[in-house]
Structure 1
Amino acid sequence: MIREMTKEDFAAFWPCFESVIKAQETYAFDPEMNFEAAYQLWCATPLKAFVFVEGGQVLGSYYIRANGMGPSNHICNCGYMVTEAAQGKGIARQLCEHSQQIAIELGFEAMQFNSVVSTNTVAVKLWQKLGYQIIGTIPRAYRHKQLGYVDSYIMHKQLQV
């Protein structure tokens, strides 16, 4: 089930969030970010945040926000995280499909991912399967904890005209 995220949901999701940012493999978030800062970033600042719950457990989440302001506020941006135990079970796909529907309901015409780390091949392949195109490469944009400097992709999908 996917529903809007509460602060209690985020508390349950926090171990996943903290693990992802500390790994420094996919998100350009401060790896030392505390719970409150993370909650503000993921839940309070965006338009909405959602959670995937199954069997009473939070298995994944996403946020949605405008990618730009004013004349660029018709394009949205989302971020997704799935718990390690739930990876490979189609949850990221369900979250992305849900986010696209929410984006359309909110009046967005397109979705853009600003920095998909090139070595995150599972995510890149999934986004491509869901119709996102790589529209740009930012050389050496991400300092991967294990691999050093790697490229990041800008990915885009038109949702409605």
Structure 2
Amino acid sequence: MTTNSRGVAIRPALPSDHDVIWSILEPVYRAGETYCIPRDISRDEALADWFVEPFTAFVAEIDGEILGISHVGRNRPGPASHVANASFATAPAARGRGIARALVEHAKDWARGQGFRAMQFNFVVSSNADAVHLWQKAGFAIVGRLPAAFDHPTHGYVDALVMFQDLTKGEQG
């Protein structure tokens, strides 16, 4: 377990965390605004997807309360297996408390420790301005734009961004 200066502790997720993880994922998935996941995905399907190999799932806690989740792993196999990928979600009541920032920093550190040389976010919905801003503050650059690639339930077709960071160049955010 790692704990940052704001008291956010991050540890590997356990099967006993599934109910809380689902309570964080469900509203995000049902809203359909940020993930390429069917809005009607079942709990079991969502958890299976979150814990699928080659990803490792983590939870972020403050005072023992799980407030955010991540999963980190290989983006693609073979010659691209040195590039990590990650996904994040924060409990709605915990937004603005540094949970997502702690999770992204942990993901980068964990990926470096596993020998990954870079991290890429394949599909960041451009209308998710808070995430785009946070990932940029954490050192990720927008390296690609997929025009009208995401059908947002409110905004209609919006762009998706590909964001990337070289993890071999030390801290960038």
* Alignment of structure 1 residues 9-158 onto 2, 5 Å: 9-158=17-166
4+ residue runs over 4 A deviation:
none
Structure 1 CA distance for aligned equivalents of residues 157 and 141 of structure 2? 22
* Contact 1:76/1:103, CA 8 A, preserved across alignment: yes
- Residue 56 (structure 1) shift: 2.9
2:4 aligned partner: none
What is the identity, as a one-letter code, of the residue corresponding to 2:33? Answer: E
What is the identity, as a one-letter code, of the residue corresponding to 2:66? Answer: V
What is the identity, as a one-letter code, of the residue corresponding to 1:91? Answer: I
Secondary structure in 1 matching 2:115: coil
Q: Which runs of 5+ in 2 are unaligned?
A: 1-8
Structure 2 CA distance for aligned equivalents of residues 3 and 39 of structure 1? 17
What is the identity, as a one-letter code, of the residue corresponding to 1:61? Answer: I
Between stretches 40-49 and 122-131, larger displacement belongs to 40-49
Question: Cα 1:13–1:45, aligned 2, differ >3 Å: closer, same or farther?
Answer: same
Alpha-carbon RMSD across the aligned residues, in angstroms, is: 1.1
Identity among equivalent positions (%) equals 40
Once the two structures are superposed, what CA deviation does each residue of 1:62-92 show, in whole Å capped at 9, x if it has no partner?
0011111100000010000001000011110
TM-score (norm 1): 0.96
TM-score (norm 2): 0.90
Once the two structures are superposed, what CA deviation does each residue of 1:113-139 show, in whole Å capped at 9, x if it has no partner?
000000101110111111100000000
Structure 1 CA distance for aligned equivalents of residues 48 and 131 of structure 2? 24
Answering whether residue 24 of structure 2 is matched by residue 7 of structure 1, we say: no
